[in-house]
Amino acid sequence: MITPALKDQILKDLVNKAATMTYSGSFEAEASTYGIAKEVYQAIVKQFDTRGFLKLRPFVGGTFLMTINAAAHDYVLAGGHIGEIEMLELQFEKLKTELYALEKTLGHQQFERIKGIVDTVTAFWGGLMMVK
């Protein structure tokens, strides 16, 4: 399973290995470092390419050249995928706090309706986090 922690570790390692902002290697060798299939490693670095963290140039024979972008360094320093999830969790908590502050200004029916929506979204988010 591809987890946020796995993606963070791979991106952090790429940033640390690429002192000259480029890195080359073999998909098979890199995948074995993390105990994952070559195809899983390829899917992860392709996503990094799509998100603008790096430019991936795969070659025949299973090798590659990557150019690591500054965005990858920024993302790692900001906490990576796990940091992104933690920020979303904090935003949900803030939303709930603000909702309870509104309780005094809203009518009971309006408050209960909004609270129900927020509870549903929070429960859904919590379910997603259990899958991570």
The share of the chain scoring above pLDDT 90, in percent, equals: 46
129 pLDDT tier (thresholds 50, 70, 90): low
Q: If you average pLDDT over every residue of the chain, what do you get?
A: 86
132 pLDDT tier (thresholds 50, 70, 90): very low
Q: What is the pLDDT of residues 81-120, one digit of tens each?
A: 888 888 888 887 888 788 777 777 877 788 788 878 877 8
Q: Which among 59, 50, 58, 44 is positioned nearest to 14, based on CA atoms?
A: 44
Q: Which among 59, 61, 48 is positioned nearest to 18, based on CA atoms?
A: 48
Judged against a pLDDT cut of 50, whether residue 131 lies above it is answered with: no
What pLDDT does residue 9 have? 95
Q: What is the pLDDT of residues 32-41, one digit of tens each?
A: 999 999 999 9
Helix, strand or coil, per DSSP, at residue 78: coil
Judged against a pLDDT cut of 70, whether residue 46 lies above it is answered with: yes
What pLDDT does residue 8 have? 93
In angstroms, how far apart are the furthest CA atoms of the chain? 66
Judged against a pLDDT cut of 70, whether residue 50 lies above it is answered with: yes
